[in-house]
Structure formats: C-alpha cells, structure tokens
Amino acid sequence: MEEKPALLLTIAILGGTGKEGKGLAYRWARAGYKVLIGSRSSERAVTTTSEIMQKLEGSSSIVGTENLEAAQLADIVVLTVPYTAHRETLESVKDALKGKLLIDVTVPLAPPKVTKVQMPPAGSAAQEAKEILGDDVQVVAAFQNISHEHLMSEEDVECDVLVTGTSKDARTEALTLVEAAGMTGWDAGPIENSVVLEGLTSVLININKRYGSTHAGIRITGVKRDE
C-alpha cells in the first residue's frame, strides 16, 4: 500500500475542546493536516472547530464530531482529556484505535494537590493506556509539558517536547508532529520513561505558582542535534 504523504494524514484529537487539545489542533491545522476535534458532545466539538477556523481565517480543514467517530476516521489519535476521563474515553474508542498510533497527552493530576506528583498503579497514564489498549495499538506520551498559551500563539515555542513510546517508529512519527507544531522534540526512550514526562508537569505547575508564571517549560542543552 502506498504511504500517504505526511500533510494528508488525518489527526483526531479526543477531548479536543479543552485548552491543550484546542492548541494542538490549531498548530496542526495551520501546518496542513486534516484535524478532527473529538468530544463527548458533538455540539461542543463544532463550536471549538468554528473558533479555530476563525483564528485560521478558514484556510484549513477541521471538523468537529464525537470522540468515537473521530477515532474511526483518523490515521493518528491524540488524547487530551483530564485524567478522570482517561480510562472511560480509551475504553469507548478501543476498537477504533486498532492498528493506529495513540499520542497520550494526559497527566494524572489529582486536584487540589496538582503540584504533587501522583502516579497511577500502572506507572503513568501512558502505561495505563497501553494496558487498556493492548498490543494492537502503539502508544506514545508527548506534549505534557507545553502550555496551551504557547500553542495558541503565533510565535515559535521556546520549550522542548520529550517523547516516549512503545517503539522507535512510533516515537519517530510523533516527533514529526512535534516539528509540524513548531517545536523541538527529543526521543526520550521507552514508554516506561513517561513517568518522568507526566510527573514533570506537576513540577512545572509548582514553578509557575512559586514564580508567578503561567507557562514554564523545559529545554534540553548540551546535545548537538543531528542535521
């Protein structure tokens, strides 16, 4: 089968009506991808789609629909729901994800103590996703440490993205999407390392509160990137 050119890939963002999902949708639609905004409410998905299209001046392809339909129609699925909806959402779209790549952006925050790292029994949300979905789905963890304020801006994002996942190929595919969104990505190894990515979010929230910011991030230094 002939491989689709990158810019013809369809990305579904489940929970795409939230701030992080909306920001990623904006970035990828601007880069030329077809984006599906998924939600439990098709009405909310359509409203969010209209908001993004207005910001893009109607020049991109974005469609709003329910989570299951979005997952069925997509080549790559991105999960940006709160942790309280993580398992339920994955179980509802499990069959639609077979043979696809899931990029899990979920962080297991437990309000009100969001500055304290609290991991689930599986080790991380991404590892939990892998347990739920099984071997038919490649799972990657990424974008946990990027503020939605950065994503919705017109400027380059001065934060790096760490990517962990169940295979090198899956991580490489996710890194392509990181670059398309205007950021620098790093292969951070196997899915077990996602505990660091997810835990780092609580550290950054703490830094934001302590130093009066809203969009602290990280940069990798001391490494020469491949040309």
How far lies 160's CA from each of 150, 181, 222, in Å?
A: 12, 11, 13
Q: What span, in angstroms and rounded, lies between the C-alpha atoms of 215 and 124?
A: 23
Entry pTM = 0.93
Instruction: Check residue 57 and give its pLDDT.
Output: 83
Fold of 6-211: Rossmann fold (3.40.50)
Which of the four pLDDT bands, split at 50, 70 and 90, describes residue 225? confident
Handedness of CA 83, 156, 31, 153 (dihedral sign): positive
Could you report the per-residue pLDDT of 93-110, keeping only the tens digit for each? 999 999 999 999 999 998
Domain-by-domain residue ranges, the chain? 6-211
Q: What span, in angstroms and rounded, lies between the C-alpha atoms of 68 and 88?
A: 12
Residue 58 corresponds to which tokens in the numbers above? Answer: 């109607």
Could you report the per-residue pLDDT of 113-162, keeping only the tens digit for each? 999 999 999 999 999 999 999 999 999 999 999 988 888 877 778 899 99
